[in-house]
């Protein structure tokens, strides 16, 4: 019996270590459970600062997308993705970059604050991180315009302000964080065909590579939003013709080009849902506004990732295959 004791202790210690390790705990939870934890944290900070939870959620979601896109940024330890560098947190002149004392941090010009009342300003603690960001927002006021100015001063990048403001509007409208559903861009029961054409050479308009997937279908087949998002751009572009750009909560920009027309109500700033009709398949583009018929009708679908500094396109083909498969599963199960 005695020789089992050490291994029993090791097992117990391992269990304790896993339980106390935020990252391990996070990985065991479903997305919905993690979102519930996050919502709870945002609302706690709203109660402390009066900053609406959806502002805080919008910043955190934006920073989660940035973390996923930037390879050199460490994974978050808890539920919250807002990132502060040791310099930012402890203060640029602080000799101790791991400083957790709110008083000396503020003396050295750091921004780290104690949000959970334990007397420590911990750069890795969810509540301390959120409270620190909410405190920044609080100094500007509580309106959506104040929010934009606070974001501009913090990120110094118009695109970041636009993306985060969009996230906030989505969360405010729906009142929860579970907005991850996707849809295939064409109705699954319509006639269409596509293959992976990523990176193919394009002849028209100089040397370009193909940044997207072409889905061939007849004129006037409806084009649907693939995600929850905000219409960022709508109008004419010399290459894309009549096109729509939609920004989702992963900071991804979905680009729908060569449309024959737009659905009513699709305007810049509009909120859209997966499966919602945004326009119709056409062959517009490659000339002055209204040019069409220079190629067979198809939807050009592109995806662009934002990493907080720049944007670049990536191959949408695997996502399309996924959404198509999930869509057919839903059709078969009847919901």
Binding residues for Zn ion (CB under 5 A): 212, 214, 300
Shortest Cβ 234–Zn ion spacing (Å)? 18
Shortest Cβ 169–Zn ion spacing (Å)? 30
Q: Choose between 173 and 208: whose C-beta lies nearer to Zn ion.
A: 208
Determine contact, residues 109/93, Cβ cutoff 8 Å: yes
Q: Choose between 166 and 212: whose C-beta lies nearer to Zn ion.
A: 212
What 3-state class would DSSP assign to 105? helix
Angle made by CA atoms 217, 223, 227, in degrees to the nearest 5: 130
Q: Choose between 212 and 274: whose C-beta lies nearer to Zn ion.
A: 212
Q: Choose between 68 and 210: whose C-beta lies nearer to Zn ion.
A: 210
Shortest Cβ 38–Zn ion spacing (Å)? 37
Burial class (CB in 10 A: 0-12, 13-18, 19+), 187: middle
User: Hunting for tokens 């990732």 — which residue is that?
Assistant: 305
Q: Choose between 202 and 330: whose C-beta lies nearer to Zn ion.
A: 202
Closest CB to Zn ion: residue number: 300
Residue 54: C-alpha distances to residues 81, 132, 159, 165 (Å): 15, 16, 19, 10
How far is residue 137's CA from residue 198's CA, in Å, rounded to a whole number?
Answer: 41
Q: What is the DSSP letter of 75?
A: P
How far is residue 70's CA from residue 90's CA, in Å, rounded to a whole number?
Answer: 23
Determine contact, residues 217/188, Cβ cutoff 8 Å: no
User: Hunting for tokens 């109500």 — which residue is that?
Assistant: 265
DSSP string, 250-308: TSPEEEEEEEEEE-TT--TT-EE-TT-EEEEEB-B-SSSTT-B-SS--EEEEEEEEE-S
How far is residue 161's CA from residue 155's CA, in Å, rounded to a whole number?
Answer: 8
Shortest Cβ 327–Zn ion spacing (Å)? 21
Q: Choose between 135 and 237: whose C-beta lies nearer to Zn ion.
A: 237
Q: Choose between 182 and 300: whose C-beta lies nearer to Zn ion.
A: 300
Shortest Cβ 210–Zn ion spacing (Å)? 6
Determine contact, residues 136/157, Cβ cutoff 8 Å: no
Q: Choose between 114 and 214: whose C-beta lies nearer to Zn ion.
A: 214
Q: Choose between 224 and 300: whose C-beta lies nearer to Zn ion.
A: 300
How far is residue 1's CA from residue 7's CA, in Å, rounded to a whole number?
Answer: 11
Angle made by CA atoms 263, 211, 265, in degrees to the nearest 5: 10
Give Cα 170 distance to the centre of its chain: 11
Shortest Cβ 217–Zn ion spacing (Å)? 13
């Amino acid at each position: 019996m005695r020789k089992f004791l050490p291994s029993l202790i090791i097992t117990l210690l391992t269990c304790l270590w896993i339980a106390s390790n935020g990252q391990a705990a996070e990985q065991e939870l479903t997305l919905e459970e993690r979102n519930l934890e996050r919502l709870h944290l945002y609302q706690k900070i709203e109660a402390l600062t009066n900053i609406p939870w959806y502002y805080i959620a919008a910043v955190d979601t934006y920073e989660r997308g940035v973390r996923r896109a930037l390879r050199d940024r460490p994974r978050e330890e808890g539920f919250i993705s807002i990132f502060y560098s040791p310099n930012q947190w402890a203060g640029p002149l602080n000799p101790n970059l791991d400083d957790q004392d709110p008083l000396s941090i503020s003396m050295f010009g750091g921004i780290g604050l104690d949000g959970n009342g334990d007397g420590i300003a911990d750069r890795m603690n969810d509540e301390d991180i959120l409270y620190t960001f909410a405190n920044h927002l609080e100094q500007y006021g509580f309106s959506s315009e104040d929010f934009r100015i606070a974001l501009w001063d913090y990120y110094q990048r118009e695109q970041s302000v636009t993306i985060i403001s969009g996230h906030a509007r989505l969360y405010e409208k729906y009142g929860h964080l579970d907005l991850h559903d996707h849809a295939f861009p064409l109705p699954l029961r319509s006639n269409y065909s596509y293959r992976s054409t990523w990176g193919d050479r394009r002849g028209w308009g100089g040397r370009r590579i193909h940044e997207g997937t072409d889905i061939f279908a007849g004129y006037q087949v409806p084009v649907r939003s693939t995600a929850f998002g905000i219409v960022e751009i709508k109008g004419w572009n010399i290459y894309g013709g009549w096109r729509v750009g939609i920004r989702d909560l992963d900071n991804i920009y979905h680009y729908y080009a060569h449309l024959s027309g737009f659905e009513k109500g699709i305007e810049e700033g509009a909120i859209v849902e997966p499966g919602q009709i945004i326009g119709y398949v056409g062959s517009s583009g490659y000339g002055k506004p209204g040019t069409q018929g220079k190629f067979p009708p198809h939807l050009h679908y592109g995806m662009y990732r934002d990493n907080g500094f720049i944007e670049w396109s990536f191959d949408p083909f695997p996502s399309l295959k996924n959404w198509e498969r999930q869509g057919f599963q839903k059709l078969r199960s009847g919901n």
